[in-house]
Amino acid sequence: MTDVRLERLANVLVNYSTEVKPGQWVGILGDVMALPALREVYKEVVKAGGNATLLIGDSYMERYFLREANDEQIAWLDPSQTLYYEQADVYIRIGASANTRALTSIPGKRMQKIQAARSSWLDARLDRAARGEMNWVGTLYPTEASAQEANMSLEEYEDFVYGATFCDREDPVAAWMELSAMQQKKVDWLKGKQHVKLQGPNVDLELSIEGRTFLNSDGHRNMPSGEIFTGPVEESVNGWIRFDYPSVVGGRAVKGIELKFEQGKVVQASAEENDDLLQAQLDTDAGSRYLGEFAIGTNFGINRFTGSILFDEKIGGTVHVAIGRGYKETGSHNESAVHWDMICDMRNDSEIHVDGDLFYKNGEFTV
C-alpha cells in the first residue's frame, strides 16, 4: 500500500503547485528511482484531465554520458525535449537519488559544459513560467541515498521530507496557503524599499533592491518551499559572506565557501573542500560572478541541514544567495548557465536592516 503522505504529496504537486487543468500538456520528469512517486503523480495528472509525457531518466546512463559523450553529443539537443520545453503547459520534476556522491569524480568543467549546452531548456521553462505560460514544480522523493546524505535512516528521512512538505498533515494545501499569507505580508512591506544590509558572524554584505520585486515562494515551484526572494541590483553587491552549510553541486559538496564582492562581482573566492568546482562555476560565463538571487528561508518544518539544496535553502532562520542566473520576474537581468545557491545561518547575532530599519533579527522577521 502506498504511503498516504506520498499520495498527499502527489495531490499537492498536481492540484496546488502546478494546478493542472483538463487538456494541459504535463511533463512528469524523474529518475527511475522515483518510480513510486512518478506513479502517484501520473495518476493525479490523469485524474485532473491532463495529458502526460513521461521523461524518465536513469542516473547510470547519465553518468555514462557525463564520462564518455563526445563534443557533438554534448552539444546535441533532443528535438523532442526542446518541443516539450517550448510548448508544454506543466513541468513536474521528482528528484531521487540512488547515490548522492556518484558524480564525485566527474570534472567540474565537464559538468558545466553539459549544463551550458542545455541552458536553452532551462531558459524556455523559466521564461515561459515568467510569462505565465508554464507552471512548474520540483520536489524530492526520499531514498536511502538521500537519507544517508542527511545522516538519517530512510524512515527518519521520510518523516523529514513529508514534514517539510506539510504532507504529514491531513490538509497540506491549507498549511501552504497559511505560509503563503504570512510571506505575502513581508513581500508587501518590502515593496519600494531600496537598501539591504546583512550583518552577523558569517556576513557583512550590502545590496540594493531598488526597482526589484520580492517573490512569495509558497510551494508553487519548489516543494517544499518557504522563502521570499528577489534578484539584487547586479552591480550593487559589496562585502563578504561565508557559507557554513556545504553547497552541493553535481553531487559534490563544496565546503567552507567564502566570497568577496566588489561592485557586484565576486573578486575573491575560496572553498575549504572542492575549491576547483567553485572556481569552475564562477568562471562559467559573464554572469556567473554576479548574484542572481537574494532570499530569506522561512520553513521551520525544515529544522536541519541535509545536503539537499531544495530543503536547505528554505531552512527557517537562514538566508541564501545564488551566483548566476536570476529570475526575470524579480527584475534581475543577470544571465548565466549557472544558478548556485549558498546558505548562510542567521540565527545567532545576525541582523538585516532594510533602508535603515531592523527587518530581521536572529532568524525571525521583526516587522
Binding of a copy of itself at residue 240 (CB under 8 A)? no
Query: At its nearest, how many Å lie between a copy of itself and the CB of residue 2?
Result: 11
Per-position DSSP letters for 302-336, written without gaps between them: --S--S-HHHHTTBTTEEEEEEEPPPGGGT-----
Query: At its nearest, how many Å lie between a copy of itself and the CB of residue 151?
Result: 29
Residue with cell 531548456: 121
Query: At its nearest, how many Å lie between a copy of itself and the CB of residue 210?
Result: 42
Question: Among candidates 187, 309, 194, which has minimal Cα distance to 247?
Answer: 309
| 56 vs 367, beta carbon nearer a copy of itself | 56
| 73 vs 362, beta carbon nearer a copy of itself | 73
**Amino acid at residue number 362:** N
| 24 vs 222, beta carbon nearer a copy of itself | 24
| Rounded Cα distance, 87 and 97, in Å | 28
Window 127 to 146, contacts with a copy of itself (CB under 8 A) = none
| 30 vs 219, beta carbon nearer a copy of itself | 30
| 64 vs 240, beta carbon nearer a copy of itself | 64
**Amino acid at residue number 186:** K
Using CB under 8 A, which of the segments 69-77, 126-134, 254-262, 324-332 binds a copy of itself? 69-77
| CB atoms inside a 10 Å sphere around CB 42 | 18
Q: Between β-strands 318-324 and 339-345, what pairing exists: parallel, antiparallel or unpaired?
A: antiparallel
Contact between 21 and 50 under an 8 Å Cβ cutoff? The reply is: yes
Question: Among candidates 249, 217, 32, 242, which has minimal Cα distance to 138?
Answer: 217
Window 248 to 277, contacts with a copy of itself (CB under 8 A) = none
| CB atoms inside a 10 Å sphere around CB 333 | 12
Binding of a copy of itself at residue 2 (CB under 8 A)? no
Window 28 to 67, contacts with a copy of itself (CB under 8 A) = 32, 35, 38-39, 42-43, 46-47, 49, 51-58, 60-61, 64-65
Residue with cell 546512463: 61
| 35 vs 266, beta carbon nearer a copy of itself | 35
| Rounded Cα distance, 3 and 319, in Å | 33
Selected from 8, 9, 37, 84, the binder of a copy of itself by CB under 8 A is: 84
Binding of a copy of itself at residue 71 (CB under 8 A)? no
Query: At its nearest, how many Å lie between a copy of itself and the CB of residue 66?
Result: 11
Q: How many residues form the binding site for a copy of itself (CB under 8 A)?
A: 37
Question: How far from 146 is each of 232, 242, 310, CA to CA, in Å?
Answer: 32, 25, 12
Query: At its nearest, how many Å lie between a copy of itself and the CB of residue 114?
Result: 13
Q: Is the dihedral of CA 268, 105, 119, 71 positive or negative?
A: positive
Selected from 19, 78, 171, 276, the binder of a copy of itself by CB under 8 A is: 78
Q: Which residues contact 160 (CB under 8 A, 6 or more apart)?
A: 142, 150, 152, 302, 304, 306, 311
| 78 vs 155, beta carbon nearer a copy of itself | 78
Per-position DSSP letters for 149-192, written without gaps between them: HTTS-HHHHHHHHHHHTTTTSS-HHHHHHHHHHHHHHHHHHHTT
Selected from 80, 170, 211, 286, the binder of a copy of itself by CB under 8 A is: 80
The contact set with a copy of itself (CB under 8 A) reads 22-23, 25, 32, 35, 38-39, 42-43, 46-47, 49, 51-58, 60-61, 64-65, 68-70, 72-73, 76, 78-81, 83-84, 87
